Structure formats: structure tokens, C-alpha cells
Amino acid sequence: MTNEQKKFLFLKQVHTLDTLKEHGAISEAQYGISYNGLVTKMGISEEELKEWTSKESGK
């Protein structure tokens, strides 16, 4: 998997988590557990996380 594919998949999954939280399907605690699990399972570094999330928040 290329870095771009990894980034796309991660951001897609975060968007899904955001949607579930917004609609009350999951709690803030469940969101945190799922988000942290996603980061861990995908092996995302702190640098990648900062880069990917800061660019997305700048939209």
C-alpha cells in the first residue's frame, strides 16, 4: 500500500467515525477508542497524523 493509499483509507475511516458521532450512533468515548485503534492498526506515525490532519482541518 502506498502512502497516498494509506492516507486516503485513514481519512475515509475518520470521516465515517465523524459521521457516526455526529448522528449519535457512537459516543465520544467510542470514537476515541476507534480512532486510536485505527491509528495503531494502520501503523500511522505521529508525523503522518499531524500532516494529514492539519491539511484536512485547513479546508
Q: Across the 59 residues of the chain, what is the mean pLDDT of every consecutive 10-residue run?
A: 94 97 98 97 95 69
Question: What pLDDT was estimated at residue 35?
Answer: 97
pTM (2 d.p.) = 0.84
CA dihedral angle for residue 56, residue 57, residue 58, residue 59, rounded to 10 degrees: 70
How many domains does the chain fold into? 1
Per the structure, the complete domain to which residue 14 belongs is given by 3-57
pLDDT value for 56 = 56
3-state secondary structure of 12: helix
Give the number of other CB atoms < 10 A from CB of residue 24.
Answer: 7
pLDDT given at position 54? 85
pLDDT score, position 59:
45
